[in-house]
Each structure stands twice: as C-alpha cells, then as structure tokens.
A and B are shown apart, each in its own frame.
Chain A
Amino acid sequence: MPYSELVKNFNKIREYMRDFYVYGFKSREDFDAKSTRTYDDERRRIESWLSDYMHFQNTSDGKSVAITIDSRSGKHNPFYKAWKAKSFTDGDITLHFLLMDILAPEKTGEMPRAWSLGEIVQQVDKYLGMYPGARTFDESTIRKKLKEYQEEGIVLSEKEGKTVYYRRAEGFGSIDAQVLHYFSEIAPLGVIGAFCADKQEKEASLFTFKHHYITAAMDSEIMCALFDAMREKSFVTLETYLPKEKRSSSGIFVPLQVRISVQSGRQYLMAYGYDARRITSMRLDHIVSVKSGGPCPEFEAHRKKLAAMEPNIWGVSTQSWSGSRMEHVEFTVRYENNEDFIHQRLEREKRVGTVERIDKNTSRFSADVFDSSELVPWIRTFIGRLKDVQFSNAKLQERFEKDIEKMYSLYGLTDPSTLDESSTQLTDPATLDENSMRNEKGGEPS
C-alpha cells in the first residue's frame, strides 16, 4: 500500500507518539518490535502532523526523534491532530458531502425535510451525473452510510407506513468558541471539544495553560470506553501492555473511576478486578483495549466501597507493599516567623489526613493511608524543614532515611563510602499497584 498521512488504527501510532514525546532519545533500533519500514512510515506520519515540534539528533546509537513542546506557550494540544488523521475511502468522503447537502434544510434555520431512500439515491445520481465516469453508489451502500450516520446522531429516521424517511439531525448551534478552547484543554476527553471548534468559525483562544499535561490526549478512546462502561454500570475485559516488560495481560474488571493527576500527567483507572477480588488501579496508557461486557449488578456496591476507601488513598494505591492493612505516616515541618506560607502549603497540598499547628514555627501532618510510600515524593519537597518523619512501615522508614543520606552524599555533604547501597534497591512503590494487580490474590484491604 502506498504511504498515506492517514491511519486506520490509532493504536498503531499511540506508542510511537508517546515514546517520541515522553523520552525523545530513542533511535530506530530501540523500536525493535516493529519493522524498519513501519517505523519509517509512522515517524513520517507523526512528522507530517507535528513538524513544528519534531527534533532530530544524531547520537552514537543512531538518529533519535523527539517531540518537544512547551505546553505553556501553546493554546491547543498538538496531539489532537493525531485524532484527526483517520483514513477513509473515496466513497466515504464523496457520500458524506453529498448526503449532508441533500439533507440540509432549504434555508438556514428551517427544519430539514425528510427524504426517502429512493429520493436520496436519485439525488446522489443527479450530482454524480455531472461527472462523466464518476463512480456510482448503489442503494445498499447509501443505506449503510445513513445507518452509520444515525448511530453517530447526525441523521434521524422515521417510518411512515413501510417507507423509512431520513432527516438531518438538528443541533448545529454555534457554541462559545472560548468555552470550547478552555474545556478542550482541561476537561476529560477534551479532543471532542476541539472537534466542535473545527466545525465552527475560527476564533483565536484567549487562554494559555500552565502545568499542562498533554499526553493524556493519546488515551482518549480508552477513557471514553471506560466512561461508557461506568454509565452502563457494566464490566469490561481489559487488555493491558507493559512496554518496559514487553508483556500483555487481560482480565475482567468493573471500571469505577478515572483518577487524574495534574502533577504527574498520569491517568489511572480504579476498577474492581475479578481475579484479585479487590479494587485496584492501572494506568490508562497501559490499557490497549476495552471490550464491553454485560451489566454488573454489584456496580453501586463497588463504587460505595471505593468512596469509603478514598479518605485513605493518597494517590491511587489501595494496598501497601508491606502487607499491612493500613499504614500511618506523620511528620513535622519547621519554619521561621515570616514563613507562614509553609503551613498554608501543607493545608493546600494535603489530599487526605490532617494538618495541625503545633506552635508558631511548627506544623504537623499525619495520615492513615493504604500505601504510605505514595507520600514520599511529597514529603521530600519539604527537605530543609523536616522533623520527625515517621512511617509505620519500617522498611519505608529505613529507605526514606537512606535516600536522604544518599542525597547528602550526591551533593558532597557526606562521605559516600558510609552509605549502604543495598537499601536503595527496593521496588518502586509507584508500580506496585500494577504488580499487585497481577500478583496479589488476597482480599481487599479495609
């Protein structure tokens, strides 16, 4: 097949775009799962969509490709372009514009009239008659396209006697362009807002965005399928792929909630897993496909359970890697008389747990959580002010202290030979959810 900018299957390019954007140092040889021809085609496509953001670098490992974007300087998520690259046939595009024209109202604002299939076929033939040698469309092809458009909601049908009549749906009202510009960047499935803006008169956006993660755009179809399942209160079969481990797995889950991080750019699904028999989490960018199952009668019960667990979830983890049902963490921070903003920082940034003022220079945070390792990165942001950091998880306590020692050494504040290297080789807590999802067969912590 000759090369085309368009693609049939979005999953084909999802991983490439992510790798080019998130890592940006991989060369063709690093994409060993695909043929070099596939790699070249996908790279060329992405370059065609995102040429303004593509950078190439020659390294000892070969030529690397990076997508580099300062998302603060742009007004629109560039990755939405990829969602506008679906392939189609000559017949698809021809029929689209002819059908929309035939079914359009005579005058703007008027109710569109209804047409029988026979009348539509006649009209299509009339248009195409102007082009000698142009292809024609038989009745069944046109009926199939109209059915497709009914499913999309842009064509309605009604039956009078034995005849089916087709009418264009209404709802072509113009939406405030600024509403679309804003929500298409910050709301879930924002790409749909960008689709709406494309069909309207163009108006420049008045907004820019800070701390703006744009990679989530690539998981839009997965997220949409998960929301569908939640709306239908049904279970799904999820196929996941862990790129680093090059391993696929699948399982049956009841999707309960999507948890979005605006500090790490990750999105997670919280779902009840039938294998593990507990509520667990997994990254959306690791989900390859969502296959809808039947209704789940226990959906509301699982949701209630998740709601009850939320006051003890710091991020997404619902199980400790120490095996304890619940872990306790607390620490105090010290600040000067003119640094009251530190206390306010604790109040503002805590997601669960409590903050108390001990005296005018000291505040204490404490929480009971399923997995206290999730708090470690946040606690480290208070380095320089920390006192009495206490984890009930003894291994975590030890690792936290060793990590701080190691940081002293990295910046030349202690002798590196005094460090015990083995203590820093623990498993990453951020990955434990997925590990536990696969390995844990135990009951849900409560």
Chain B
Amino acid sequence: MIFSELYSAYYNAVARILREAVSHPVTTEEMRRIIAENAFDESALAILPALSESRWPLLRKDGTTPLHAAPTMPLTKLQKEWINAISQDPRMLLFLKGTEMAETGEDGDADAETHEATVPLPYPDEKVLFAKEDYCVFDRYADGDPYEDPAYRAHFATVLEALREKKALRLEVRNRYGHLMQITTLPSHLEYSEKDDKFRLFGRASHRSDIINLARIDSCELCEVEPWMTERKQTRPHQDQVVFDLLDERKALDRVMLHFAHFERRAEKLDEKNYRVTLLYDRNDETEMVIRLLGFGPLVRVREPEHFVDLMRERLLKQQALDQGTLDQQAMERSEAE
C-alpha cells in the first residue's frame, strides 16, 4: 500500500531524531531543525510533545534513547518491486557500470552482432511492479537520446562524475549545423525533458552559460576547475509573461489548465465561461509557447504582450495567404529566383 505510515514524514523525522539520540543527547533545537527538514510546517507541534511526554516512549528526558542502534528499515516489498521495474527501463543503463549489466545477444549468443545490454533484476525473489507492456507514453517525440549507444552512455557517465565530483568538463560538441565546437564548462545540473526524451547539460564558464544537448557530445573528459570558470554565478533563463483569455467550451478550461500546469501561472474567472490566464515561461521557449497556444484553436486568445499577439497573428496571416493561394505563388516565385 502506498499510503502507509511506514513512509510518513513523521516516521522519517522521528527516525532521524533517534539516530542522533543514539550517539548523543539530542536537544529540542536539534529536534526542531530535524522536524523542519523532514516533515511539515506544523509537525513540531505534534512530534515534540509526543516525544517529551512519552506518548511515544522512544526518548528519555535527557535526550538519549533506549534503542540500541540508529533506526533503519528494510526495503518493503513495494519498494523492491518498484526498483525491479525501473531496472528494466533502458535509461537505467546510464547509471550502471559495465560489470553491473548483462550482455545478451540473439539466441543468447554473446558474440552476436546484434546485442543489447540488460540489467538483472536487483531483487529476483520479488515481482516487478509494472512491466513495459503495462504502460505506454504515447506522445513522446521519436528522436530521443540513444541510451543504448555505448558512446552516449560513456559521455553520460563522465558528465555525472563531473557533477558528483564538482569537476569541469572539456567537450567536443556538434552544433545544429554539424560543426564541431570545443567547450570547457563547469556543469551545474542535467535537465531531462520527458516530451523530448533528451538530456541537456547546464554549465557555465566565465561570461557565458552553456546548455548542451548530451546527444551532440562527440568527446568528453574531466578537467580541473579554473578560477575563471566561477567568476559569474549561473543565472536562470529570463522569464517572460503571456496573458490569454480562455473560453470554456469543449472542456477547454480543464484541458488548458492541465496542459500548462507545469508553468507558474495565475487564473482568474471573468464570468461563467470566460477566464484570463497569466503564464510565465522561459524566453528561449517562445516559439514552443506560440505553437502550444495555437493548438487550442479559437478557445484561446492571446491578449498580451503585443509582440506575442503579433507572433500568433503572423502565423494566421501566413495561413490565410496559403488558404487564398497567394503564399504558394510567392514561394514559387522565390524558389524560381533561386
């Protein structure tokens, strides 16, 4: 069962308090800090008196505990089954060393030309919580990163090592035109897009911020962090705002609000059927935003900023010209001129 006290924030906070109490008398201040880190805003109001009044007789008055050892809990069946399930995901290969994988070829022939790496079940005595045929992500883009490519996996491992060890990276990267570029960067994190099924590396080097598609890396090695790399702090991409009106027909309210749920946003009810939505987005993703809003057709109308309205209008104007046959004619003339 997922909703169980075994996984509760209160159990976690108490376990961490008792872990401290095994080695030294734990103070109220320490307990407050641990509760704030592991539970909720008002949890201290419930946990502290329960421990001090011995309703939960686990802590002595002096802040020590009668427990023999720091509390631990074995993995539950549910946790093992989930780990078994994710171990079968091709992306798990990114986190494993060669020795942790099994190579299987056609008919079990390890020398066969077509072979793929697999991960043995970490808990073979337990079931697999879900198998690949039990679910399907049906709208993920088809050109995701090549997780089964050994070169890609090696680059991913080096990037992960750099992030863990806080080292810099010397990279050779192919840009969108296929040209090879050399980049030295101090990585900050990896970003994964579920829609694109791609990883991007975020890093910085002196005056610039780097965003690098992992699949475009040709070579990759660790290097020491130079003082010039840390001169400037990494800044968040600039956020822009778009305001649009929404007509709640064909259940548009539910569809639009859920579709844009992953953005910071604000919605206001204008009347029974009309809503105004303000949404913050990364300036680099403006074209994507235009496309996504177009997808809702006449149920969404962009109000501001003006330049965003113009972007919508521009596409519609182009479409109108295509409908009327005038755009094709212009394109044909351009093509002939070339």
**Bound form: Cα–Cα A223–B67 in Å:** 38
A236, CB-defined interface residue at 8 Å = no
A24 touches B40 (CB 8 A): no
Taking a contact as CB atoms under 8 Å apart, the answer to whether B249 and A424 are in contact is yes
B-binding segment of A163-171, A287-295, A364-372, A437-445: A163-171
CB atoms of B9 and A134 under 8 A apart = no
Q: Among the interface residues A154, A348, A411, which one has the most CB atoms of the partner chain B within 10 A?
A: A411
Closest to B301 in A: A410
Query: A337-B338, A384-B319, A411-B313 known; A179 and B92 CB under 8 Å?
Result: yes
Interface string of B300-336 (1 = CB under 8 A from A): 0100000001001111111110110001100100110
CB nearest neighbor in A for B75: A171
Which stretch from B23-31, B79-87, B108-116, B167-175 is at the chain A interface? Answer: B79-87
Contact present for B95 and A128 (CB under 8 Å): no
Q: Given A47, A83, A410, which contacts B298 in the complex, CB threshold below 8 Å?
A: A410
User: What residue of chain B has the Cβ atom nearest to residue A209's Cβ?
Assistant: B192
Is A353 interfacial (CB-CB < 8 Å)?
A: no
| Residue of B11, B42, B323, B334 touching A96 (CB-CB under 8 A) | B11
Complex: A47 Cα to B42 Cα, angstroms: 10
B12 touches A198 (CB 8 A): yes
- Find chain B residues with CB under 8 A from A84 CB: 7-9, 12
Picked from A23, A206, A344, the residue with its CB within 8 Å of the CB of B267 is A23
Q: Which residue of A lies closest to B193 (CB)?
A: A210
B227 within 8 A of A: no
CA gap between A134 and B163 in the complex, in Å: 50
Contact B316 A383 (CB under 8 A): yes
* Contacts A187-B86, A260-B136 given; does A265 touch B261 at CB 8 Å: yes
Closest to A11 in B: B3
A407 proximal to B (CB < 8 A):
yes
Q: How far is the CA of A168 from the CA of B75 in the complex (A)?
A: 11
Decide if A115 is an interface residue (CB 8 Å cutoff): no
B262 touches A10 (CB 8 A): no
Task: Say whether A178 contacts B160, CB under 8 Å.
Answer: yes
Which chain B residues lie closer than 8 Å to A5 at the CB level? 40-43, 46
Q: Are A413 and B320 in contact (CB under 8 A)?
A: yes
A187 shortest CB reach to chain B, Å: 5
B152 nearest CB across to chain A (Å): 16
Query: From residue B75, how far is it (CB to closest CB) to chain A in Å?
Result: 5
Instruction: Name which residue of chain A comes closest to B135, CB basis.
Output: A258
Contact of A262 among B140, B143, B275, B314 (CB under 8 A): B140
Instruction: Check A134–B57 contact: CB distance below 8 A.
Output: yes
Residues of B within 8 A of A417 (CB): none
**Which residues of chain B have C-beta atoms less than 8 A from A220's C-beta?**
2
Closest A residue by C-beta to B236:
A73
- Please classify how large the interface on chain A is, using the bins under 10, 10 to 19, 20 to 34, 35 or more: 35 or more
The reply on A316 being an interface residue by CB < 8 A is: yes
User: Once the chains are docked, how many angstroms separate the CA of A5 from the CA of B82?
Assistant: 28
The residue among B74, B83, B196, B319 with the most chain A CB atoms within 10 A of its own CB is: B74
Question: Which one of B178-186, B217-225, B250-258 is at the interface?
Answer: B250-258
**CB <8 Å contact, A86 and B3:** yes
* A154 in contact with B322 (CB, 8 Å): no
B66 contacts which of A71, A130, A224 (Cβ < 8 Å)? Answer: A130
- B67, B268, B295: the one contacting A97 at CB < 8 Å is B67
Q: Which residue of A lies closest to B78 (CB)?
A: A192
Residues of A close to B129: CB separation below 8 A:
189, 192, 224, 227, 231
Chain B minimum-CB-distance residue to A4: B46
| Docked pose: A186 CA to B198 CA in angstroms | 12
Asked if B316 and A70 make an inter-chain contact with CB atoms under 8 angstroms apart, the answer reads: no
| CA A425 to CA B197, docked complex, whole Å | 36
Chain A residue numbers with a CB within 8 Å of B143 are 344, 347-348
B8 CB, nearest partner CB in chain A, Å = 5
In the complex the two chains form, is A171's CB within 8 Å of B74's CB?
Answer: yes
Partner of B316, one of A387, A407, A428: A407
- Chain B residues with CB under 8 Å of A277's CB are none
Q: Does B107 contact A (CB under 8 A)?
A: no
Partner of A101, one of B5, B38, B68: B68
Determine whether A358 belongs to the interface, using a CB cutoff of 8 Å to chain B.
no
A384 x B338 contact (CB < 8 A):
no
Nearest 3 interchain pairs by C-beta:
A153-B77, A428-B250, A384-B315
Extra 9 A-B pairs, beta carbons < 8 Å, given A24-B267, A259-B135: A5-B46, A90-B50, A90-B56, A97-B58, A153-B77, A198-B12, A209-B191, A260-B136, A386-B319
Q: What are 13 residue pairs bridging A and B, where the CB atoms are less than 8 Å apart in the complex?
A: A4-B46, A72-B191, A101-B71, A130-B57, A175-B83, A207-B192, A208-B189, A266-B258, A344-B143, A347-B142, A349-B142, A410-B298, A430-B255
